[in-house]
Structure 1
Amino acid sequence: MPGALARLAAGVAPPAVPIDARGDWRAAEEALGVELPADYKWLVETYGWGEFCDYLYLHTPFGSRPYNSLTWRSTGGLLVWGSTIDADRLCWRTDGSPGDWPVVIWDAKGAVEELAVGAGEFVAGWSLGLLESRLLGAMEAGLAPWFNAFRTRTHRCVVLSEGPYPYAERLRILRDAFAPTADRGSWESDGGASGQDHFAAVADDWLFTYDRSRPHQIRVGLPPEDTQRAGERLFDAVRLMGCEVRQVTTGGGTVLPAWETRAPEDARP
């Protein structure tokens, strides 16, 4: 594995079940009319359809989901393999051997930037804070990188009492209950009186946000089929944290009488 890809795999935990990550590469290449770079194939098979650091979107040639595909731009032989949250396009300039295709960024205003790296090195460099783009800027300094698979998730919010332990200890207990976990960013203000910690339960691809105040709550996004199992584990963790459950709501704010497993209207990507 090339060095950039090895660093990415070590620094950004891949999802337990990548989405739209497997398929017939030969058929995909025949449909596009070009052979695809090996580093891109590794990205797809390792991470699948999803986003790095809530910003860089990796597209794949597999599946039939809206917004997930490789497409040609009419200008300059550019093949789009990704995008950003700001609607910028991540492309290759398809001149020469696929292993030598440079990344071209085409931003939402029409500005263009070409970088002398492939898709794998670009994603690794930007996500790990080792590469800065004139158009996209750089990954926020000091923020641990992460990847979210684009999949349907059920969202729940559990409002808690404060409990006897300080926030840092409650967070440690919560993360230990779902270990191994991976950071997904955090922030604080007012000297630590308010803030959030985001992390993922790696083995299950469950996404957590722990709000330390206003109100004190845990938000979780998980595959619908995992709702019952996740609820049992979460309530066990809350007891270890010394807290009480005050309220459970859907991601849209609907109050539930208890942790419910069937609320299809609340399942969304």
Structure 2
Amino acid sequence: MEELIGTQRPTRRILDPAEAIAVLEHTVPGLVALRRHEPAVFDWRAIEEEAGRALPADFKSLAEWYPAFGLDDFLHIMLPWPGEEAPRAEAEGTRSERWHSDYPVDLRPAELISTPLVPWGDSTEGDNFYWSVPGDGPGHWLVTICSRNGPWWHYEGGVVQFLAELCDGTLEPWALPPVKPRITGWAVEGGGWHQEG
């Protein structure tokens, strides 16, 4: 069984999605080049039905303004693509595993055995990034990191604020390498990935 080593808290939790995105754009200036001219329109009802729950507002706002992207050849943020909300699952007549963790329950820290984990990112090194989903609404979910090195930990802020604080060094990257604020890849229409040189 893995170990939960602690929880980091932001000095001030940013609740407004637009403010959180502005902080991330300031921290990772290269991100602005990927910003859509207008927010993408998603069928969030279909996405959330597929996920089995409502999703956090900052994540939905990030997806509306940005494609999935990679930071520092390490962290991949998995964002849906507009118009492709759940076509594969529907076509195959199955429920998508996109929004469900396949991490074995018996290997989780004791505190997380009965807590649903919803994936939102992963790393090239095998680290996994989740939300821990308590009974409360998505505004209360914890960012939960499962390091490939074993330790698990929480962050008491939204995903967008987590990314900004991880990249600007405010956050201690427990069991993770430091992540530089540089965009190294992003999703393109049709399911492809553009890798920065």
State the TM-score, normalized to the length of structure 2.
0.64
Q: Residues of 2 paired with 1:60 and 1:121: CA distance? A: 16
The offset of 1:88, in angstroms, is 0.9
The offset of 1:17, in angstroms, is 5.6
The offset of 1:100, in angstroms, is 1.2
Candidates 51, 55, 60, aligned match of 1:41: 60
* Corresponding letter in the other structure for 1:40: F
Q: Residues of 1 paired with 2:52 and 2:98: CA distance? A: 14
- Aligned: 1:107 with 2:123: no
The offset of 1:70, in angstroms, is 2.8
1:108 aligns to what SS in structure 2?
A: coil
Runs (5+) with no aligned partner, structure 1: 154-204, 210-269
Aligned match of 1:24: 43
Aligned match of 2:25: 9
* Corresponding letter in the other structure for 1:118: G
Aligned match of 2:178: 138
The offset of 1:23, in angstroms, is 2.9
The offset of 1:134, in angstroms, is 0.7
Q: Residues of 2 paired with 1:52 and 1:123: CA distance? A: 9
The offset of 1:60, in angstroms, is 2.3
Candidates 95, 98, 109, aligned match of 1:69: 98
Q: Residues of 1 paired with 2:44 and 2:78: CA distance? A: 14
CA contact (8 A) 2:68 2:80 kept: no
CA contact (8 A) 1:105 1:113 kept: yes
CA contact (8 A) 2:149 2:175 kept: no
Poorly superposed stretches of 4+, deviation over 4 Å: none
Q: Residues of 2 paired with 1:146 and 1:51: CA distance? A: 6
State the TM-score, normalized to the length of structure 1.
0.48
The offset of 1:56, in angstroms, is 1.4
Runs (5+) with no aligned partner, structure 2: 1-15, 89-96, 106-114
The CA RMSD over aligned residues, in Å, is 3.0
The offset of 1:118, in angstroms, is 1.8
Percent identical across equivalent pairs?
29
Q: Residues of 2 paired with 1:9 and 1:89: CA distance? A: 23
* Corresponding letter in the other structure for 2:23: R
Q: Residues of 2 paired with 1:17 and 1:110: CA distance? A: 37
User: 1 or 2 for the larger relative contact order (CA 8 Å, sep ≥6)?
Assistant: 2
Aligned residue pairs, count: 150
CA contact (8 A) 1:113 1:135 kept: no
Spell out, residue by residue over 1:73-124, the C-alpha distance to the aligned partner (whole angstroms, 9 max, x if none): 4642111111111121100011112011111111224431112222111111
Q: Which has the higher strand share?
A: 1
Candidates 72, 75, 83, aligned match of 1:53: 72
Aligned match of 2:131: 92
- Aligned: 1:124 with 2:140: no
